[in-house]
Structure 1
Amino acid sequence: MKRCVLVALLVLAALVAVPGQSASAACRPALKSLGLSKSSVVGGGSVTATVTLTCRTAKAVTVRLKAFPGVSLPASVRVARNRSSARVTVRTSVTFTVRRGDVVATLGRLRRTARLTVNPRACRPVLTGVAMPALVYAGDRVTGRISLSCAPNTDVRVTLRSDRPSLTVPTSVIVRRGRSTAAVPVTAALVSGSRYRARVTAAQGGRALGRDITVNPGLKSVDIPPSSDPNGVSVHPFFTGPAPTGGLTVKVASDNPAVTVPPTHTFPAGAYGGDVWNIRVHPVTKNTKVTISVTLGTRTLRASKILLPPFDGTQRVHLIADDALPLYGLQYDRDFHVLLSNPAPENGLVAQLRVRGDDPAVQLDDADDHISGGATTGHFRLRTADVTKTTRVELIATVGGVSTSLVVTIHPRITGVVVPETAKSGAPFPITITLAGPSDVDSHVYLHPGWGILHPPEMVTIPAGETSVTFEATSSPVDEPSAVFLTASLGSTSFQSSYVTLTP
């Protein structure tokens, strides 16, 4: 009996369960609707979208989604089995104009839409900040920044002014819609003078904010001055004014390892510039251009030099006189230089000088000189004999197996300036200048009175081939006998006459 009752209950339970399962299995889901939690939202906010099917689905269903620009959501949403709806978050971006569009759901050929409005965020911008560099240098171009309390929906103009004409800012800048800051270009003019302070003021909507800027002297120039050492590198920065208290520190850089420089150099207060210390020059194997840059603030200036490889006997040697003045007999301590086109190697070189044929018209104080490593010049000194005619002598210099020559010309010197023992003042009197012998060029003799009362011509000429010239000089009237003399100069030589007594 109990068994019959149990079987009956199981049959009844089966009859109740079968209709529900049959309904789920028989569901063919279609897209019923698409709904939004809100039809409008402020840009940057989000809403919830709900996708609803016509029935509970026996297996998961994917519904495709899309929206309009400025609105983002997943490309699809899954409605789980035994469910008839699913939710998804719709996000919006900040906007500065009202944007309207549709959120779209698609399942098969069915399409459902929901209209969404994205509104701009309300903003009443207020000037909240002015950021400026506290310190700049003359010649700098830097950037400041102004800030508003919020990102406006339309462009906002902020006016600007500086209380110093040498520190300039634009009359205004625009903060673009959707932004809360704007850059402010600031230019410190490259003018001469000491440190000064300027104030930049920004104004907007009845509010003004200001910031002070200290302007130090800036970088005016940078050069590498000429040097007797061809590979000598000395960097000289100069400023637009004296370095302020605390000095000025420049950054230094070399574009080639052949020259190493310190990363920075500080010039003391009051300095207008000077040498950068601790520069090292290293040997090169070929002509090498090196550029040194110096930076102060935002301004960088550069100077370049070409370094030369050491002298190896394949380059040129030159022999020159220390000056262009002609040589005359009985001259002493006349300097000549042997010049290398490239610097001597590390251990140096010996330069030798000799006179062709050992001509006695020229005597050398020394026959050789050591040119130190890195240097290019050997020095020699000679003296001349008392020649009685124009004499030409060839000097020959040799360095590292390379020779060069120079012909020097020696002219007869002045041997006499003859004046009378006495002469009447105010009246002309004769003077004769004599050479040691004839010269093959005109000899221009310059005259210098020992007292201003004597009035010779400024210059007289002894013609080529002649040995003397006679001319007249005058004097101012005197009240008592006065002794004066005359000096005659020929090149760098001179000869003084005896005294002539001028009488009343």
Structure 2
Amino acid sequence: MTADTHYSPSYVAKVTARRNRSSLTARLTVAPGLNVIQVPVGDRPNDVGLQVYFTGPLPEPGGTVAVRSDDPAVSVPATHTFQGGATGGGVPGITVQPVTEETEVALSVTYGRRTVATTTTLVPPADPYDVIATLVAQNARETEYGGTRSGQYDVWLDAPAPPGGLEFAWRIRDEDPVATLDTSPYGHVPGGGTKAAARLLLAPVASTHVVVLEAAFGDRVFELPITIEPRPTDLVLPDSVVGGDTFTGSVVTAGPASVDTVVELVAFGPVDLPARVVVRAGETAASFTGTTFSVEEERVVTVHGSFGAGHSLETAYTTVVP
């Protein structure tokens, strides 16, 4: 359940009742009420937190909610008081007991006459002798480049690690020298957790290369093939250009890649360049055209190139002359 972030303060309404020529008037204070509750999602599924959101900031001196769980596996405090001015917050003091089977627990919060409920599911811990896991590239990073530090790779358990955690080993299949671990080869998923992460240092390559990352829990080995492409190596500009003229520059890669390689360009100075240059799959260079502006004295143009997820080329320069 997603919290509504639109809040309204308390307000006073005037209520009038009329009969014939007579009327009675009263003032009614309408205070913020309970909006929604939610259990935040994380990589420790049995760590239960409870967030409460009101429809606006509570008036002084605050407000007390009643909290309830329908299962002893999740113990909650009977009440919790929020300070005046609060629009919501977490309920402290929640404890969770281990379960032996998947257990859905209903949690509810009451404020005034309104009760809002949500559910959370507890899962039993992973079997340390029969681990089930998946290796994934974080944020679905599609392309890695030789000569860079890789993105993050995560091993996800299908259930929380038991108390004390689970030990495993990161390794590169066949000790492929193109990739080395940038983290400890001894991995640990903490008790209650479901994830551990690793990064790689990737050696330069002159053609597309595939390495296999492995996470070994005893005899169980989980693997992920990682494709490494030749990286862009040079951004080539002429030494000088007459102001007002066009010129040709190029992007050079370490070898032919299996996919298009996109290089983003940012220039500082009297020049107009394309925002991106694409080196097509199977090619090792791509040219682009730049346009300079007239100058009254020499001006140095600085061009920055980037590729992939924030990798940078060495800065290139050209001089625009009158």
Same fold? TM cut 0.5 = yes
Match of 2:195 in 1: 377
SS in 1 for 2:89: coil
Match of 1:430 in 2: 248
TM-score between both structures, scaled by the size of structure 1:
0.58
Matches of residues 321-400 of structure 1 in structure 2 within 5 Å?
A: 321-323=137-139, 324-332=141-149, 334-365=151-182, 366-399=184-217
TM-score between both structures, scaled by the size of structure 2:
0.89
Match of 1:478 in 2: 295
Between the aligned partners of 2:206 and 2:152, the Cα distance in structure 1 is 23
AA matched with 2:288: F
Q: Compared with structure 1, are the counterparts of its residues 215 and 393 closer, same or farther at alpha carbon in structure 2 (3 Å cutoff)?
A: same
Q: Compared with structure 1, are the counterparts of its residues 263 and 503 closer, same or farther at alpha carbon in structure 2 (3 Å cutoff)?
A: same
Task: Give the aligned CA root-mean-square deviation in angstroms.
Answer: 2.4
Between the aligned partners of 1:456 and 1:206, the Cα distance in structure 2 is 80
Matches of residues 145-160 of structure 1 in structure 2 within 5 Å?
A: none
Structure 2 residues without counterparts, runs of 5 or longer: 1-5
Between the aligned partners of 1:478 and 1:445, the Cα distance in structure 2 is 28
Between the aligned partners of 2:12 and 2:220, the Cα distance in structure 1 is 63
SS in 2 for 1:469: strand
Match of 1:218 in 2: 33
**Which of 302, 325, 339 does residue 117 from structure 2 map onto?**
302
Match of 1:275 in 2: 90
Match of 1:487 in 2: 304
Q: Deviations over 1:3-24 (max 9, x none)?
A: xxxxxxxxxxxxxxxxxxxxxx
Match of 2:3 in 1: none
AA matched with 1:384: L
Q: Contact 1:217–1:239 at 8 Å: present in 2 too?
A: yes
Q: Kindly state the Cα deviation for residue 413 of structure 1 after the two structures are TM-superposed.
A: 1.0
Q: Contact 1:414–1:494 at 8 Å: present in 2 too?
A: no
SS in 1 for 2:294: coil
Q: Kindly state the Cα deviation for residue 487 of structure 1 after the two structures are TM-superposed.
A: 2.0
AA matched with 1:340: L
Q: Kindly state the Cα deviation for residue 216 of structure 1 after the two structures are TM-superposed.
A: 2.6
Between the aligned partners of 1:202 and 1:435, the Cα distance in structure 2 is 82
Q: Identity over the aligned pairs, expressed in percent?
A: 39
SS in 2 for 1:446: strand
Q: Deviations over 1:126-145 (max 9, x none)?
A: xxxxxxxxxxxxxxxxxxxx
Alignment of 1:261 with 2:76, yes or no, is yes
Q: Contact 2:53–2:89 at 8 Å: present in 1 too?
A: yes
Q: Compared with structure 1, are the counterparts of its residues 267 and 469 closer, same or farther at alpha carbon in structure 2 (3 Å cutoff)?
A: same
Q: Deviations over 1:297-335 (max 9, x none)?
A: 111001111111101154530111223151101112532
SS in 2 for 1:496: coil
Q: Contact 2:250–2:288 at 8 Å: present in 1 too?
A: yes
Q: Deviations over 1:422-480 (max 9, x none)?
A: 1112211121211111112222222221x152212122222222211222211222221
Matches of residues 76-225 of structure 1 in structure 2 within 5 Å?
A: 193-197=8-12, 214-225=29-40
Match of 2:135 in 1: 319
Between the aligned partners of 1:208 and 1:423, the Cα distance in structure 2 is 88
Q: Contact 2:269–2:300 at 8 Å: present in 1 too?
A: no
Between the aligned partners of 1:497 and 1:206, the Cα distance in structure 2 is 86
Between the aligned partners of 1:242 and 1:318, the Cα distance in structure 2 is 43
Match of 2:223 in 1: 405
Q: Deviations over 1:39-81 (max 9, x none)?
A: xxxxxxxxxxxxxxxxxxxxxxxxxxxxxxxxxxxxxxxxxxx
Between the aligned partners of 1:441 and 1:336, the Cα distance in structure 2 is 21
Between the aligned partners of 1:207 and 1:482, the Cα distance in structure 2 is 86
Between the aligned partners of 1:440 and 1:198, the Cα distance in structure 2 is 69
Between the aligned partners of 2:307 and 2:23, the Cα distance in structure 1 is 80
Q: Compared with structure 1, are the counterparts of its residues 392 and 214 closer, same or farther at alpha carbon in structure 2 (3 Å cutoff)?
A: same
Q: Bigger radius of gyration, 1 or 2? A: 1
Match of 1:241 in 2: 56
SS in 2 for 1:193: coil
Structure 1 residues without counterparts, runs of 5 or longer: 1-190
- Structure 1 runs, 4 residues or longer, greater than 6 Å off: 199-212
**Which of 281, 290, 300 does residue 464 from structure 1 map onto?**
281
Q: Deviations over 1:161-189 (max 9, x none)?
A: xxxxxxxxxxxxxxxxxxxxxxxxxxxxx
Between the aligned partners of 1:270 and 1:396, the Cα distance in structure 2 is 51
Q: Kindly state the Cα deviation for residue 277 of structure 1 after the two structures are TM-superposed.
A: 0.8
More displaced stretch, 299-308 vs 314-323: 314-323
Q: Kindly state the Cα deviation for residue 496 of structure 1 after the two structures are TM-superposed.
A: 2.8
Between the aligned partners of 1:374 and 1:214, the Cα distance in structure 2 is 46
AA matched with 1:408: I
| Larger RCO: 1 or 2 (CA < 8 Å, sep 6+) | 2
